[in-house]
Amino acid sequence: MKLKDKTAIVTGAARGIGKEIALALANEGANIAICDIDKAALEQVKSEIEALGRKCLIAVVDVGKSGSCEDMVNKSLDKFSRIDILINNAGITRDALLMRMKEEDWDAVLTVNLKGAFNFTKAVCRTMIKQRYGKIVNIASIIGIMGNAGQANYAASKAGLIGLTKSSAKELALRGINVNAVAPGFIQTLMTDKLTDEQRVAMLKLIPLGSLGKPKNVADLVLFLVSDASSYITGEVIKVDGGMVM
C-alpha cells in the first residue's frame, strides 16, 4: 500500500469528491481525519473508512474559522501523532450575476473556498516542517483558470487558491513539503445532478472526451500527488477536465 502508516486530513469529506478522496487514501493504507458540517454524513464515511481497516477521526468544522481548524489539527495529532497529507477540498457555491451578487454571498464563498485552505495549511505547516515531510493538495477548479459568467465569487476563490498553492509551494519546498493543486472540470456530483437535460447536452459539447468526469478521476490524481511517485512535483495546477481547457 502506497500510504501505509501515513495520516491524512481531508476537508469537505462528507460527500462527493472529498469522500472519494478520503476513501481512496484509506484504501492505500492511510489513516484519515475528515471534517465537514454534516455530522451524520461524516459518520457514514467514517464507517466506510473503518471497514477498510483504517482508523478515522471526524470533526464538524467551520473551515472559515482558524480556531476550529487548529483544534481539528491538534485532535488529529493527539490521535495519530503525525500529519503527512492535507487535502483542502471544502468548497461552496453561491452563484449569481455580478451586478446581482449579494455581498454576503461573495464573502461566504471566499471564506470557505480560500480562507479555509489558508487556515488549514497554516495549521499543519509547523508539524510538517518538523517532520520535514508533507503533501498538500488544494482542490481548485477550471473555473479559477477560465472564469465563468455568474460565478465571479467562485472563480475568484479558486484563482486565489491557485495563487496560494504556488506561494506555499515556494515557501515550503526546502522543508520537504510538496504543494500542488488539482483543477477539476465538470464532475458528476450533487451539483451537476441538478442540471437540466438541455444544460447537460450543452456542457458535453464543450468536453472533447464527451462525458462528465467522475469523483474517482479526481481522487486518482490526488492519490498520485500524495504518493512518493510525485516527489519532484510541486507548485503545479493539474486539470482533470476531459480536455475542456487546453
Cite the active site residues: 154
Phi, psi of 227 (to 5 degrees): -90, 170
d(CA 166, CA 172) in angstroms, rounded, equals: 10
Question: Which grid cell sits at 96?
Answer: 449569481
Q: Output the nine-digit C-alpha cell for 99.
A: 451586478
Residue 238 buriedness (CB in 10 A; 0-12 / 13-18 / 19+): middle
Using alpha carbons, select from 225, 185, 220 the residue that is nearest to residue 20. 220
Signed CA dihedral, 113, 115, 120, 126: sign only: positive
Phi and psi of 117, rounded to 5°?
Answer: -65, -40
CA atoms within 13 A on the CB side of 191: 15
Angle (nearest 5°) at CA 90 between 51 and 141: 115
Q: What whole-number distance in Å separates Cα of residue 42 and Cα of residue 221? A: 23
Note whether 227 and 25 are within 8 A (CB): no
User: Is the Cβ–Cβ distance between 152 and 134 less than 8 Å?
Assistant: no
Chain center to CA of 75? 20
